[in-house]
Structure 1
Amino acid sequence: MSSRGPSLSFRDVTSHLGVMVALSALMGLLVAGLVIPFAGALGVGAKSLSKTVKDLPEELSAAPLAQRTRVLDASGRTIATFYDQNRVNVPLSDVAPIMQKAIVAIEDYRFYQHGAIDLKGTLRAFLTNQANDGITQGGSSITQQMVKMTLVNEATTKEERKAATDDTYQRKIKELRYAIGAEQKYSKDWILERYLNIAYFGDGTYGIQSASRHYFSKDASKLTLREAALLAGLVKNPVGYDPTSSPEKALDRRNTVLRRMAELNIVDKELADKVEATPLGLKVSPTRNGCLGSKAAFFCDYVRRYLLQDPSLGKTVSDRQQLLNSGGLTIRTTVDLRFQRAADRSTSRHVKATDSAIGALAMVEPGTGNVKAISQSRPMGRAKKKGETFLNYVVNSKYGDSAGFQPGSTFKLFVLASALEQGLPPSTAFNSPRNMRIPQNEYETCNGPYPNTAPWNVSNSTTNGRKDMYTGMRESVNTYFAQLEKKTGLCKPYALAKAMGVDLTHPASERVPSFTLGAADVSPLEMAEAYATVAARGVHCEARPVTRILNSEGRIFKDYPKQCDQVLETNTADTINDILRGVMTGRGFGAGLALDKPSAGKTGTTTSNKAVWFDGYTPTLATASMIAGANSQGQPISLNGQTVGGSYIVSAHGSTTAGPMWADAMRDVQDLLPDIDFVSPDSSMFRLIDMKVPNVEGMRVNDAIAELESSGFVVRVRGSRNGRVVAMSPRGGSSIASGSTVTIYASGGRGGNNTATLSTPNPGGTTPPGNGNGNGNGNGNGNGNGNGNGNGPGN
């Protein structure tokens, strides 16, 4: 066998000559802008080539590179990142010198000596590729590579991406023209800086800073020789040399870089050999894209949706999405991870992810609206594990995925607040029987009586009897609030609920007589915002998860200042706080939930026990706790008969089911709260409203009672209820304070001196059951049915 190498065929020789001629032509075209006859060797006509070269723009647009957005907690720690390309731009001065030397050594060692084109390298690559009948060597300078990466990065369509990566001489000519323009316009350091920031380093990382943080958990300014050599080797084939998936190939490639640096006398060969014997030294920091896996996953989801709804971040949702994913923003949020951990511990402890129930907590700071935490029992995930979900149940439908949950008696807050705002004193009292049937048209709406005459059947599940605002709220007496709502009307409590942060949008189904018992659907975040209003002495602040956005250069892009308004008189809020403190003490249903700090709260239980609530607060933190029965699809079911958090529920209640979840979360963070007490109310500030007394003389007693009670008076009857009114005190037509007592004197019947005190109102003129003993001539039995001549209820 001959020792000579393989001979070249005539075709091979011709091909090599053609390439050399073509290369010469190319150089001449790009440098002098001339066309020579040998252009045909490039596979295009001379005129076509000339036109192509002349039509190419000389300057690369070099648009800003897409960068990842960071989401920070209230203390400045990263809780999530959003990106299309995981990149953090850095100036060349923030890249370790050894990293700069390593990338130049392996990719373009003559970078600082040649112009846009390395003629030697390009010729070598062309000859090698022709000899192997394909593309095997690049030979492109760092400038040319930067141009190609820029064109790929800025491609927005499939066709543009294909044109930017095609292995054609036309594409090469385009890159060379751009490269010449770049070298003329920018410095070598600028080109190297952009190259290092735009390059893909594998495993989802773009740019040297993100790569350094990802693979070695350090900034690019602190890279060592070993680390720099590994990263420099990745650029040629970031997938094939990925150290997280192909560590052996990555090690070989790193050592190739080290040997090349030694050949070029960038490092001593002895040092290169020593480093070559070391392992990769990875310290990988996973970088998650999006909210999944965040320490505050559903809060992060809330932040993202909140910003996507902000028109100042872009004309369309798509524009806003692009800004969040590529703008390199820094989003400062309100979440406090100490509060978030407390909320997460409590929801997971009280409601398991796989239970037929959803537990949710929302924490809001009074006076700022800052959302400190939101948590739910079903963690974020793709349901690979039973109980995982991407549906956010804690916030309203504008930013979440739930239509809401009925809040039960927690809505009594708005009727109470409205009554106080309208001047009714906390001493306003009604006899509150176990059951009442109230014609719905006795309730005033914004435009007159409610248009339904059917009776509203309302019942108590707690206590009965004469109640005022303190006892009615403390014991959550439904019939008391049904009567108080007749005083306030439906319009003002509804408007007040909206002003305090509840997203009410369907008045036809929400502004109804049963509004006070929670006829609307709401989220825990809305209720935390509403109760934060009274904690802040009547100042409502819109819930906000974001305080500021910085741009990629660290300058303020947009501020999100607190949005607050005084929606309740200060003394009204102080009075509500005083009333709701009673829920946490003595016989209050929340007495077992009390904190070491001053606290107040309200329970809520819905029809069929499908949801239970406890909305409680201190002067500096309001938290809404909700547990709702829900099947695997999130559809509501009763909590009764369910096993929730490992405990079987016979009958769910706000105080015993949702309350402990609230208390555990609040007790975890109470030491972080300032020692501030509620302000005591000034009872003298409540004015009594003067009302004209209707003239009921000559009317039947029961009709007279109904007339007077509907006008807001307490009625005392002297005489028989079977007779007619012969006199009254004060007289009809006189003006006295609302809630005052009017005595009517009746004739006829056998009642003698039977006297009964009834509270207002008593719809329909029916006599509610009492809870004492009748004192007529018959024997009252405590249920309003006295024997003999005593027909009235006892006291």
Structure 2
Amino acid sequence: MTRPASTRPRPFRILSHLGVMVAVAAVMGVIVAGLAIPFAGVLGIGARNVAQSVEELPEELETQRLPERSRIVDGAGNTIANIFEENRQIVSLRDVSPMMRKAIVSIEDYRFYQHGALDLRGTLRALVTNQASDGVVQGGSSITQQMVKLTLVQQADTPEERAAAVDDTYARKLRELRYAIAFEENHSKDWILERYLNIAYFGDGAYGIEAASETYFDKSAKDLNVKESALLAGLVRNPTGYDPTNSPERAQQRRNVVLNRMAELGVIPQPKANRLKRADLGLSPTNLQNGCVSSRAAFFCDYVLKYLQEDPSLGETPEERMEFIQTAGLTIRTTIDQRFQAAADEAVQATVFPTDQAIGALAMVEPGTGRVRAVAQSRPMGSDQEAGQTYLNYVVPERYGDSNGFQGGSTFKLFVTAAALNQGISPYTSINSPDDAAFDLGSYEVCDGEFYQSSEVYAPGNSTESGVMNMYTGTQLSVNTYYMALEQQTGICEPYELAQQMGVELDNPERELVPTFTLGVADVSPMEMAEAYATFAARGVHCPARPVNDITDAAGTMLKEYDSDCTQVLPESTADQINDILRGVMESGFGSGLQIGQPSAGKTGTAQGNAVWFNAYTPNLATAAMIAGANEFGSPINMAGVPIGGAYRNVSGSGFAGPMWYDAMIDIAPFLDDEDFVRPTTAE
């Protein structure tokens, strides 16, 4: 609450303030709390010079909003991580217990509500006490003056400005008092006390009374009792020296000083103070972690921050956006479902160990919305490479996680299938697909009617069966020669562009827009593949993957909503047909042993022994499972002969990545709505 501006004439107000300032200066050689300005320095200053100095100072100190921690939460409001520069949560004075308010006033400025910007009586008392003790034992600064000093330090942009804010000089103290006078004229006492309690540092990384209450007692400031209030009130004088977690004896002594002072002032009865002084500190310390490393969903959290750093509405540069996130007291409501996340984590960790020369990863995306429901990988977040820790996020695209990705293998065949169906090729069209087929690479059309420039002949070979195939059998058996022949009919351009439209971040045509595109030579992340396959599940509607629902500010006001930005990139009939083909993979193909009690469709993939995939989906959840060989630096390696998860494995999509997908999905399936795919209308 702001006080009405004074109606007294300006000259009268200035002389009134000067009278106080000059009187104090003349009597004791000080202006404010430091009590350290030599007599000679002050006595040599005339009233006219003091008046001129005051007139030259700004009338008011503009207070900026205090930095406040932001929270990343799930849809139900459960905290996933706290992000901050300073651990502070701003609270109103009414949300601070009355006893805490009385305790801080008792020990720091007991006449706070009776005097103005400067407590002349308190300053004189402090001077006498300090002179008798031959040192600074008691401060003479009012709470208003202390708040000004803390504000100047808080708002300093450079080391020089911070040094000036605490410099023990006449100029600094005069400026500080001038600002204090302005605060007293323009704001209520309650407003000043509220800001003081929110800006003060209480030690152990806790800024402001709410964070301090949580840090030391695991409760809100509104619930502090007398004993707890006395402890916290005693910390502001020396938060490091009296830190109860490091110096409990000194903290207890200081708390008892506050209790004695409260009894002396009649705030509490002396017998009660005596009883409380015998009690222990009653700490219930909590260590609020800053950032994603300690989060239960560390790499999802990291993905959220990288995603928001690309949002221009949060600042002009990524650095400004991150600073805004760290200081604005935001609530970032994300798309994660922690039940899904727990199931994904458990499945990945049971399959691939952190120190293995391989990465296990799962990405889950909701069809029709793009909401990312889980991000899991086998290497935990951290810097201890010997323990398998890493900061590389292998699940998300490179721009969000710094991993280059891994070849997608046969999971790319579905983009050729989609192009063929779009072009009117029947899913039942037969193509002879022998194991020894050879393909002239120069016969593959790229974009704009051009053909791939090569005179080479490529003979891929099949890893399963050969013979006459159609889209159903060729897909269920993942027949390489069938898809190389089908791509000759569709050309490379449309499958390539469809993959891009469905969320695969292809940006190197020289390496990717090639005849072997259908065999998955492009590097890709699990998130991109989950997003692409979610497009099939959503009947051709592509929704970019997004980890955030909305952001509200500290007051609960909506700042931004992240709505789904979906586009129909495939005809419904094409998507329905693909869903039916891939449903066959799960019912009678490589995924037949991975039934989860929900209608599902999926595709396996193997990329030259470096990565295996199982991308599968229900009508309401698409999940990409990947296991890829990678050394401690994240570079791809061959998984042949490498122990993974404590054993030597058959590195196939259905035999390795498929069971990891199943282990996660069998726990998630009960939470999914009962839906089914739309059957295609294509006749044989």
- Class of the TM-score when normalised by the shorter of the 2 chains: over 0.9
Task: Give the aligned partner of residue 521 of structure 1.
Answer: 523
Residue 575 of structure 1: SS of its match in structure 2? helix
Q: Of the candidates 483, 486, 491, which is equivalent to residue 485 of structure 2?
A: 483
Which stretch shifts more, 453-462 or 399-408? 453-462
Q: Does 1:648 align with 2:648?
A: yes
TM-superposed CA distance for 1:569, in Å, is 0.8
Whole-angstrom CA distance in 2 between matches of 1:536 and 1:55: 68
Q: How does 1:385-784 map to 2 (within 5 A)?
A: 386-447=387-448, 448-586=450-588, 588-607=589-608, 609-649=609-649, 651-684=650-683
**Measured at CA, do residues 197 and 376 of structure 1 come closer, stay the same or move farther in structure 2, by a change above 3 Å?**
same
Kept in 2: contact 1:404–1:523 (CA 8 A): yes
Residue 309 of structure 1: SS of its match in structure 2? coil
Task: Give the aligned partner of residue 350 of structure 2.
Answer: 349
TM-superposed CA distance for 1:457, in Å, is 2.2
Whole-angstrom CA distance in 1 between matches of 2:578 and 2:28: 85
TM-superposed CA distance for 1:23, in Å, is 2.9
**Measured at CA, do residues 188 and 28 of structure 1 come closer, stay the same or move farther in structure 2, by a change above 3 Å?**
farther
Kept in 2: contact 1:39–1:45 (CA 8 A): no
Task: Give the aligned partner of residue 146 of structure 2.
Answer: 145
Residue 242 of structure 2: SS of its match in structure 1? coil
Note the alpha carbon deviations across 1:591-633, whole angstroms, 9 max, x for none. Answer: 11121111111000001x0111100111111110001111111
Tell me the amino acid that sits aligned with residue 647 of structure 1. A
TM-superposed CA distance for 1:128, in Å, is 4.8
TM-superposed CA distance for 1:181, in Å, is 0.6
Q: How does 1:274-313 map to 2 (within 5 A)?
A: 274-313=275-314
Residue 401 of structure 2: SS of its match in structure 1? coil
Whole-angstrom CA distance in 2 between matches of 1:53 and 1:39: 20
Whole-angstrom CA distance in 2 between matches of 1:45 and 1:393: 70
Tell me the amino acid that sits aligned with residue 659 of structure 2. P
Note the alpha carbon deviations across 1:669-723, whole angstroms, 9 max, x for none. Answer: 1100111111111114x9xxxxxxxxxxxxxxxxxxxxxxxxxxxxxxxxxxxxx
Residue 67 of structure 1: SS of its match in structure 2? coil
Task: Give the aligned partner of residue 125 of structure 1.
Answer: 126
TM-superposed CA distance for 1:134, in Å, is 5.6
Tell me the amino acid that sits aligned with residue 529 of structure 1. E
Identity %: 59
TM-superposed CA distance for 1:285, in Å, is 2.4
**Measured at CA, do residues 271 and 501 of structure 1 come closer, stay the same or move farther in structure 2, by a change above 3 Å?**
same
**Measured at CA, do residues 43 and 574 of structure 1 come closer, stay the same or move farther in structure 2, by a change above 3 Å?**
farther
Residue 274 of structure 2: SS of its match in structure 1? helix
Kept in 2: contact 1:22–1:41 (CA 8 A): no
Q: Which runs of 5+ in 2 are unaligned?
A: 1-20, 33-38
Task: Give the aligned partner of residue 162 of structure 1.
Answer: 163
TM-superposed CA distance for 1:113, in Å, is 0.7
Residue 204 of structure 2: SS of its match in structure 1? coil
Tell me the amino acid that sits aligned with residue 248 of structure 2. P
Tell me the amino acid that sits aligned with residue 100 of structure 1. R
Whole-angstrom CA distance in 2 between matches of 1:539 and 1:141: 64
Kept in 1: contact 2:614–2:653 (CA 8 A): yes
Q: Does 1:181 align with 2:179?
A: no
**Measured at CA, do residues 30 and 251 of structure 1 come closer, stay the same or move farther in structure 2, by a change above 3 Å?**
closer
Kept in 2: contact 1:623–1:662 (CA 8 A): yes
Q: How many residues align structurally? A: 658
Whole-angstrom CA distance in 1 between matches of 2:145 and 2:27: 15
Whole-angstrom CA distance in 2 between matches of 1:385 and 1:148: 47
Kept in 2: contact 1:497–1:530 (CA 8 A): yes
Kept in 1: contact 2:203–2:239 (CA 8 A): yes
Task: Give the aligned partner of residue 96 of structure 1.
Answer: 97
Task: Give the aligned partner of residue 7 of structure 2.
Answer: none
Whole-angstrom CA distance in 2 between matches of 1:51 and 1:647: 83
Residue 280 of structure 2: SS of its match in structure 1? coil
Higher relative contact order (CA 8 A, sep 6+): 2
Kept in 1: contact 2:130–2:136 (CA 8 A): yes
Task: Give the aligned partner of residue 5 of structure 2.
Answer: none
Kept in 1: contact 2:85–2:327 (CA 8 A): yes
Whole-angstrom CA distance in 2 between matches of 1:342 and 1:597: 17
Note the alpha carbon deviations across 1:26-81, whole angstroms, 9 max, x for none. Answer: 999999xxxxxx87436768776554332211211111111111110121101111
Tell me the amino acid that sits aligned with residue 485 of structure 1. E
TM-superposed CA distance for 1:435, in Å, is 2.4
Whole-angstrom CA distance in 2 between matches of 1:26 and 1:391: 65
Which stretch shifts more, 447-456 or 460-469? 447-456
**Measured at CA, do residues 40 and 201 of structure 1 come closer, stay the same or move farther in structure 2, by a change above 3 Å?**
closer
Task: Give the aligned partner of residue 373 of structure 2.
Answer: 372
Q: Does 1:270 align with 2:271?
A: yes
Kept in 1: contact 2:24–2:30 (CA 8 A): no
| TM score, norm. by length of structure 2 | 0.93
Whole-angstrom CA distance in 2 between matches of 1:336 and 1:251: 44
Which stretch shifts more, 46-55 or 511-520? 46-55
Q: Does 1:214 align with 2:215?
A: yes
Whole-angstrom CA distance in 1 between matches of 2:552 and 2:437: 58
RMSD: 2.1
Tell me the amino acid that sits aligned with residue 61 of structure 2. L
Tell me the amino acid that sits aligned with residue 312 of structure 2. P
Whole-angstrom CA distance in 2 between matches of 1:652 and 1:48: 85
Task: Give the aligned partner of residue 363 of structure 1.
Answer: 364
Whole-angstrom CA distance in 2 between matches of 1:592 and 1:45: 94
Whole-angstrom CA distance in 1 between matches of 2:587 and 2:578: 15
Whole-angstrom CA distance in 1 between matches of 2:172 and 2:134: 18
Task: Give the aligned partner of residue 768 of structure 1.
Answer: none
TM-superposed CA distance for 1:436, in Å, is 2.1
TM-superposed CA distance for 1:558, in Å, is 0.8
Tell me the amino acid that sits aligned with residue 329 of structure 1. L
Task: Give the aligned partner of residue 10 of structure 2.
Answer: none
TM-superposed CA distance for 1:429, in Å, is 1.3
Note the alpha carbon deviations across 1:252-274, whole angstroms, 9 max, x for none. Answer: 21121111111111011222222
Tell me the amino acid that sits aligned with residue 112 of structure 1. Y
Q: How does 1:46-125 map to 2 (within 5 A)?
A: 49=50, 51-125=52-126
Kept in 1: contact 2:71–2:331 (CA 8 A): yes
Whole-angstrom CA distance in 2 between matches of 1:456 and 1:428: 23
TM-superposed CA distance for 1:21, in Å, is 7.9
Tell me the amino acid that sits aligned with residue 310 of structure 2. Q
Larger Rg: 1 or 2? 1
Tell me the amino acid that sits aligned with residue 184 of structure 2. E
Question: Deviating runs (4+, > 4 A) in structure 1?
Answer: 25-31, 42-51, 127-136
Residue 593 of structure 1: SS of its match in structure 2? coil
Task: Give the aligned partner of residue 699 of structure 1.
Answer: none
Q: Which runs of 5+ in 1 are unaligned?
A: 1-19, 32-37, 687-795
**Measured at CA, do residues 652 and 217 of structure 1 come closer, stay the same or move farther in structure 2, by a change above 3 Å?**
same
Note the alpha carbon deviations across 1:371-390, whole angstroms, 9 max, x for none. Answer: 00001100011217520111
Whole-angstrom CA distance in 2 between matches of 1:103 and 1:187: 17
Task: Give the aligned partner of residue 201 of structure 1.
Answer: 202
